[in-house]
Structure 1
Amino acid sequence: MIFDGKKISRQQEKEIQERIEIERNKPLTVVVMGQTGVGKSSLINALFGTNLKTNDVKPETKYPEKHIEIAPDSSELWFWDMPGVGESSSADAEYLNGYRQKILDADVALWLCHADSRSVTFDIEAISKLLSNLTNGERSMVLSKLTFVLSKADLVTPEPWILWKNGNDAVFETTDKTETLLDAKAVYFKKSLLKPHSKNFVSKTFHDGSFNLQSEDITFDKHFVYYSGIMDNSNLQKLQSNYPEYSSVFSRLYQNSEVIYCSSHFRYNLSKLMQVIVDKIYSGVSMRFRKFISNYSMNKVSWNKAKTFSNIVVFDSVKDDIVFDLSRLK
């Protein structure tokens, strides 16, 4: 057998196959972090159909909690639902130490921020503390695994949300004004959270076997293509213009550092978030990951459930009757 351009023995071939099999069957590990109340457990539930406990009043997760989901083929998906930071400085120090190790060990790491907030000071400080006492290599590893998410986008006001009904399903969409606002927030959070660490940031995406370009900023190995720094839109367009055959690779590298806004409640933009996550992991892990998301309609909500999301009922006191109630619509 020829492996990596070299002839190998049957024993070596057997060992390689055994390692591949071990890797294929390893549990996929996802760690979710952020401030208390940012919706970590809710996002896991929305993405993977789990039923983690949530609480709108008090923190539900006090300690790192591992939840295991098993696919029909017995593959395992491990979620680490981490305690929310922001309760106290002493607790935060302990939690951030736990975050650091979990990110280094995980396949995927999500850091959630409130979409309906303009304040990034706490998250900036938390990220800086998270990266402290790490080597440059470890910082790059942590940053490359992190995907920043603006959660609870449904709380962004005042524009209404559009609900598209299609039979028994429904899909929430934003107005142009709300989308513009969310885009601006994503840019602001990216600039605030990622730009200070750009020298340690390395975008990466899976290598599909066809990429073959080396430059000052771009490298690759068997599993990944890497871009040193944060790719901006002008660099993206330049690379796509010069090397159109690798356009999709550059798009994935560009999105690698994007801040993704979404709503677990409305199941809004979950498919984009999932795509960014999958694009960050190498093909072997991606295959394991897709076992949990295939045939799953990320952005769809059942119509009967969507009708209950309205919290406004119009009551006409003169007629002594309800004139509008979304939950009554068929």
Structure 2
Amino acid sequence: MLNVLFGTQLPVGDLKPVTGKPHAISVPGNTGHLLTFWDMPGIGESEAADASYLAMYVARLAEADVVIWAVHADSRATTAETRCLNRLLEDAGPDLRRQVVAKLTFVMTKADMLAPPPWIFDMRGRRGSFLPSAPLAARLDQKAAHFEKALIEPWGEVLRASTYNTGEFAVSDERLSFDRHAVHYDGHFSEEVRGAYVAAYPEHAGVFSRLRDNHRVLPCSALFRFNLAPLMVNVVNKLGPTAVFRFQRVLDDADELAEVPVAVVREYGNFVVWDGVRGVRLSDLSRSPL
């Protein structure tokens, strides 16, 4: 995912983990500030490996402004993720635990593995973008809700959602706090909470949508370049009220992240339908004109 976002060449392994130590990637903002991502070793390799990574994770989580926690979209199990998250946060202490939980952004990576139902390639000339079909979009929503319930909801008492304030927000509520720069919500900002606030204060729908993004599990695909732009927007929004302006160039570039060349799409997969009785090829995407 980081390789696609930033054009880097971090090692990727299909058979076994290849990230044994943190790798740094720095992206310049439009005012000289650097946005630095640390690619961390993954968890779930083994009990021994996970234990050796805990201290490293705690240190990085404490230093980071935003933490992207990636889970595989094609997985149904959350035991390893919840166990590691629990161990990290239990060792952190109350104050650090609250800080770390507020930084977490959960994404479901490899969403392209969820098929069928089919993905739709919206072709516009020589390029296009991938979109989930309606049944697949519903499945992605269900998977996201499953991970949110397992990984985010249990920490409701220490969760805090934050976003920038453009200056117009002013809502009196015991869970909401704000100043002229930022808006905060104490607790789990679920879809139900967002809907209730939007119904009561429709003029602030944008603020509540950004607060909801704090606790939304976002499906992503590096292969299909799906939802990478919203991920970048979410990361920058979490960096504070001035980050949107400091990293506007990064956000402008993010608009192009969804584009995939038509020539590349042929390499993503194909079914060849073969008539075994007549011995002829009936269908082959690689031979079809696009």
Asked if Structure 1 and Structure 2 have the same fold, meaning a TM-score greater than 0.5 normalized by the shorter chain, the answer is yes
Distance 1:147 1:127, change over 3 A: same
Structure 2 CA distance for partners of 1:323 and 1:198, relative to 1, 3 Å:
closer
Q: Does 2:3 align with 1:56?
A: no
Match of 2:286 in 1: 326
1:310 to 266, 269, 276: 269
SS at match of 1:68: strand
Of structures 1 and 2, the larger Rg is shown by: 1
Aligned to 2:78: 120
Cα separation, partners in 2 of 1:243 and 1:321, compared to 1, 3 Å: closer
Q: RMSD of the alignment, in Å?
A: 2.3
The answer for the alignment partner of 1:266 in structure 2 is: 224
Q: Does 1:173 pair with 2:137? A: no
Q: Deviations over 1:183-215 (max 9, x none)?
A: 011111101111111101111111222323343
Q: Encode CA deviations 1:284-325: one digit per residue, 9 max, x unaligned.
A: 223333322314412111111112112433456646668423
Which ranges in structure 1 are unaligned for 5 or more consecutive residues? 1-42
Deviation at 1:158, TM superposition (A): 2.4
Residues 170 and 306, structure 1, Cα contact 8 Å, conserved in 2: no
CA–CA separation in structure 2 for the residues paired with 1:70 and 1:231 = 31
Q: 2:247 aligns with which of 284, 289, 300?
A: 289
Partner of 1:134: 92
Q: How does 1:172-251 map to 2 (within 5 A)?
A: 172-251=130-209
TM-score normalised by the chain length of structure 2: 0.90
> Which stretches in structure 2 are left out of the alignment for 5+ residues?
none
1:117 alignment partner, SS class: coil
Residues 177 and 184, structure 2, Cα contact 8 Å, conserved in 1: yes
Helix, strand or coil for the counterpart of 1:149?
strand
Distance 1:241 1:84 in 2: 40
Matched, 1:300 2:227: no
Match of 1:163 among 121, 124, 136: 121
TM-score, normalised to structure 1, is: 0.79
The structural deviation recorded for 1:242 is 2.9
Q: Aligned partners of 2:177 and 2:30: how far apart in 1?
A: 37
SS of corresponding position for 1:141: helix
8 A Cα contact 1:164 1:173, kept in partner: yes
Match of 2:44 among 86, 92, 96: 86
Q: Percent identity?
A: 35
- Deviation for aligned residue 1:260: 0.6
Q: Which amino acid aligns with 1:324?
A: D
Matched residues in 1 for 2:72 and 2:211: separation? 25
Q: Distance in 2 between matches of 1:257 and 1:226?
A: 13
Match of 1:240, as an amino acid?
V
In 2, the alpha carbon distance for the partners of 1:327 and 1:278 equals 42
